[in-house]
Structure 1
Amino acid sequence: MRPPARLPDGMVVRLGDRVRVEDDGRALVGGAPLRVMYLKPAAVPLLRGRRLTVTDAQTAALADVLLGAGLADPVVSEGTPGPLSESEVTWVVPVRDRPEQLDRLLGALGEGATVIVVDDASRDPAAVRRVADAHGARLEVLAVNVGPAGARNHGLRLVTTPFVAFVDSDAVPEPGALDLLLRHFADPRVALVAPRILALPHPRPTAVERYEDARSSLDLGEQPALVRPRSWVSWVSSTCLVGRVELLGEGFGDGMRVAEDVDLAWRLDAEGHRVRYEPAAIVRHEHRATLVPWLARKAFYGTGAHPLAVRHPEEVAPAVLAPWSAAMLLALLAQRRWSVPVALAIAAVTVVRLSRRLPQSAHPLATASRLTADGVGAALVQAMALLLRHWWPGVAMAAVVSRRVRRAVAVAALVDSLIEWRRTRSSLGPVRFAVLRRLDDLAYGAGVWWSALRGRSTAALRPSFRSRPRG
């Protein structure tokens, strides 16, 4: 394979909001995974106000390194060369029944769009055909239901344009979303781009819909990101994805009916391509509005854990902890008089050891302290997720006989709910939000355990213990 062309002149990249600039601009702390990157003296003045504009081979090389490390994001609203023509994109829509939703989607795509509708063995295929014919879309009818991933792959094999946009029938892209997503392909290494998924407007939302407005599993937040395992954004939803056809290969995992989007993103990353999340591009989705279907969907998402563990055994762990942070958590969970002093001692030793691994830093102890604090925060968040989400069936049994486990669960549930309620600015009151938050975790965790039992493997339940990567 020939090496990709460099980033084009005029492209603008900006350091991510989570990236810290230290040592008078020489050191960048952040990225995916977390690292400390030291810039060469000639590179420091190229970053002005956390931004870099590609003007030559030198700035293109620096921008490429920053993008590949997850330290910077393309500024697609300015500078980046103009969007590709929509004539270079084919929309592929998998559908099984849902003629009303399909009609709404095709109407939003417009008359000039090239669309392939793949009917995945609908019970009423005539209704789907009427909608496709009314909008001038090409219709492919499958005799046997193969699931959304298989239906998308069928459509992908028929695409003759350089780019493909997969979109589910119960979604609606907002105007301009496709243009923003296409701008990312100015980077020749980008294989796949995903928009932000938000709920369709609803005049009288239920409590479930109000929760989903704030804390949907499909909404990956307000910050753009490089998508890869173990990063801030580690996956993207197949609700809507735009891809470079020549890099997608055979497409989604054969036979996968859940987590096929995660698998595709991780495979592309492992192959050296880039997957981007662009929240400025918004696609609206018809979320589930009532409790039982909502819980069933959350559990369904959880059942993707074991298939991912089979395909990506190194990446699917429910928590990734450095040995020192795992020891610190064990000390705190013991809930003894010595717990806090021991945890503080572990953190102090970590700061000293880490500072010795930062010989280029002008202030190694300060940098090491901030990195350790980041690690402590991440470890506590992951510990709460293990107790309340991934491990809850085992934790519930332990809580029956252990007061310390009950205390840990109560504290974790309270802290997690308050943090998420404030972070998401939910319109629900804190009590109702907390109840739905816990039901969300219980349903997803049940799906994870069901998939592990069915697969006769604990791989999706075991945390990973790795040392912090160095810059």
Structure 2
Amino acid sequence: MTLPHGFVVTLDRHTRVLDDGRAILGGNPTRLLRLSARARPLLSGRTVRVRDAASALLADRLLETGLANPVVEALPPHPASGNGGDPDPDCTYVIPVRDRPQELARLLASIPAGSPVIVVDDASRRLGLVAAVAAEHGARLVSLTVNLGPAGARNAGLRLVTTPYVAFVDSDIVLSPDMVPTLLRHFADPRVAMAVPRITGLATSESSRWLGRYESTRSSLDLGAHPAAVRPGTPVSWAPSACAVARVDVLTDGGGFDERMRVGEDVDLCWRLVRDGWRIRYEPVAEAAHEHRVGLGDWFQRKAVYGTGAHPLAERHPESIAPAVLAPWSTALVLTLLAQRRWSLPVAGSVWAVATARIAGKLTSTEHPVRLAARLSADGAVSALAQGSALLTRHWWPLTAIGCLASRRIRRATALAAVTDIALEYRGGTNRLDPVRYGIARRLDDLAYGAGVWISALRGRSTAALRPRIVMTRRAPQRQPTTTALPSLGDTTVTGQQPARPATPRRARR
């Protein structure tokens, strides 16, 4: 499977072009990609346009390593797609719902008239109301007599889909007119199995409450303002199935959602698709709006429920569930600073210097290996400290609380981690909430999710979802050209540091 002619990719915002285009640095884990003289002209500025086999190979390699993203505006529109607001006969909407007829009506009104729509009623207590709404909007209704949960309801709808693509949409979502046509453009890449939009907060009378304003900035469903490949061990390690477009044949061949999972089923699906060699794209240009829960009790309970998916995911994906991913040197640095002894800063500085020297040894082909290595090791140290802080305040908080009772050093470390996290996250977001209430919501968010993770671990009698993963640096094998016409692409893994986004299962019920 190769990328079609006209396919355009641009380097990720974190990717660096070095030495006048002779090398590219970035991705997860960080790697150095060396370009041969034949390959360099294919990179125009920060863009590669597929024109032949050589440019297709380079673009594919950049996508696979996370060094670049497709330019969705330059991708060809899906053949059957019209303008925004027109129905697409190649895509069927599957909507799982239990009761909630008003929300269902609101969603159906946002779907282009004439689109194939299947509403799967998951054993509603008010089936008549749901049926009336479906009939009013011309949707096909499938009624389940037993509540199967989100995974089972989606699979029931998937089995009835006859189009090449399916759009799963939850009832508390409202679609923008061009969302599905935009996501369908990504399927010009034959290896893309699923594409997901950015999910922002829906403006309602309740969204102005303080938790609503917090969720508008830090919702678990909002994956950010920048496009990304979705894969475990990267900043965008999973994607919510609250709104997603996928290839029907790929999902059918893979068994669809795991119906044994009431939470985390979307994380599991993403990781299985990636494991099988497929790509998942996150595209923030496409948007949908979600009605956030803003009542304190309901909000806290749902955050905790998200965490309870940790152990089922650990059973299925033990290599991907780790709450932190660290290199040996960054682990040593974090532990040294956590000790808070007189020798901590000198030893931590020595660890960083040794790591810098080792990284520089892998960058000898660049013009300024030491300077570049220092920047990379500094980035790795910051990432490691951020992940260590998250362990203290989120995943391990029950142990942290016990430790704070007995240790002044742990109290200092925890206070510093909590305050620094709030300050950095508040500064980095577009907030409509004052810092004090934002900080309270942030800590409650972590307490709830962490409690769910521990409940899950205790039920499963396993600490797999609580253990960090230590990754060793290794040299990646050189990619050999398939013909003499293709550019030589050699890459080297530069650091073992992978800034992981913890797997945060989305919801237990709609």
**Match in the other structure for 1:55:** 51
2:28 and 2:174 map into 1 onto residues whose CA distance is 30
* Paired residue secondary structure (1:14): strand
2:215 and 2:371 map into 1 onto residues whose CA distance is 40
* CA apart distance, 1:203: 4.6
Match 2:379 to one of 374, 378, 381 = 374
Superposed, 1:201-350 pairs within 5 Å as 201-203=203-205, 205-248=208-251, 249-350=254-355
1:259-299 alpha-carbon deviations (Å, 9 max, x no partner): 11111111110101101100110010010011111111100
* CA apart distance, 1:60: 1.2
* CA apart distance, 1:59: 1.0
**Match in the other structure for 1:457:** 462
- 1:434 lines up with 2:439 in the alignment: yes
1:93 and 1:354 map into 2 onto residues whose CA distance is 49
CA contact (8 A) 1:218 1:237 kept: yes
1:312-335 alpha-carbon deviations (Å, 9 max, x no partner): 001100001111111111110000
* Paired residue secondary structure (1:228): coil
Superposed, 1:354-393 pairs within 5 Å as 354-393=359-398
**Match in the other structure for 2:506:** none
- Larger mean CA deviation between 14-23 and 456-465 belongs to 14-23
CA contact (8 A) 1:33 1:469 kept: no
2:259 and 2:204 map into 1 onto residues whose CA distance is 36
CA contact (8 A) 1:34 1:469 kept: no
Runs of at least 5 residues in structure 1 that lack an aligned partner in the other structure: none
* Paired residue secondary structure (2:89): helix
TM-score of the superposed pair, with normalisation by structure 1: 0.97
- 1:398 lines up with 2:400 in the alignment: no
Q: Percent of pairs identical after alignment?
A: 58
1:391-414 alpha-carbon deviations (Å, 9 max, x no partner): 000000000010000000110111
TM-score of the superposed pair, with normalisation by structure 2: 0.90
**Match in the other structure for 1:94:** 96
CA contact (8 A) 1:97 1:128 kept: yes
**Match in the other structure for 1:148:** 150
- Larger mean CA deviation between 87-96 and 459-468 belongs to 459-468
* Paired residue secondary structure (2:75): coil
* Paired residue secondary structure (1:87): coil
2:120 and 2:20 map into 1 onto residues whose CA distance is 55
2:79 and 2:174 map into 1 onto residues whose CA distance is 20
1:360 and 1:27 map into 2 onto residues whose CA distance is 9
2:37 and 2:231 map into 1 onto residues whose CA distance is 29
* Paired residue secondary structure (2:287): strand
1:461 and 1:138 map into 2 onto residues whose CA distance is 43
* Paired residue secondary structure (1:417): helix
Task: Detail structure 1 runs of 4+ shifted over 4 Å in the superposition.
Answer: none
1:468 and 1:36 map into 2 onto residues whose CA distance is 13
**Match in the other structure for 2:134:** 132
CA contact (8 A) 1:10 1:53 kept: yes
* CA apart distance, 1:469: 5.0
* Paired residue secondary structure (1:221): coil
1:260 and 1:35 map into 2 onto residues whose CA distance is 31
* Paired residue secondary structure (2:72): coil
2:286 and 2:24 map into 1 onto residues whose CA distance is 27
- The one-letter code sitting in structure 1 at the alignment partner of 2:355 is T
The aligned length equals 466
2:31 and 2:474 map into 1 onto residues whose CA distance is 6
- The one-letter code sitting in structure 1 at the alignment partner of 2:424 is I
1:423 and 1:469 map into 2 onto residues whose CA distance is 33
* CA apart distance, 1:302: 0.6
1:433-468 alpha-carbon deviations (Å, 9 max, x no partner): 001100000000000000000110000000011124
* Paired residue secondary structure (1:7): coil
* CA apart distance, 1:28: 1.5
- The one-letter code sitting in structure 1 at the alignment partner of 2:459 is R
CA contact (8 A) 2:323 2:465 kept: yes
**Match in the other structure for 2:412:** 407
1:15 and 1:203 map into 2 onto residues whose CA distance is 40
Match 2:192 to one of 190, 193, 198 = 190
1:146 and 1:203 map into 2 onto residues whose CA distance is 32
- The one-letter code sitting in structure 2 at the alignment partner of 1:441 is D
* CA apart distance, 1:229: 0.5
CA contact (8 A) 1:25 1:44 kept: yes
2:244 and 2:195 map into 1 onto residues whose CA distance is 6
CA contact (8 A) 1:32 1:228 kept: no
2:425 and 2:117 map into 1 onto residues whose CA distance is 39
CA contact (8 A) 1:84 1:182 kept: no
**Match in the other structure for 2:168:** 166
* CA apart distance, 1:202: 2.6
CA contact (8 A) 1:224 1:279 kept: yes
* CA apart distance, 1:83: 2.4
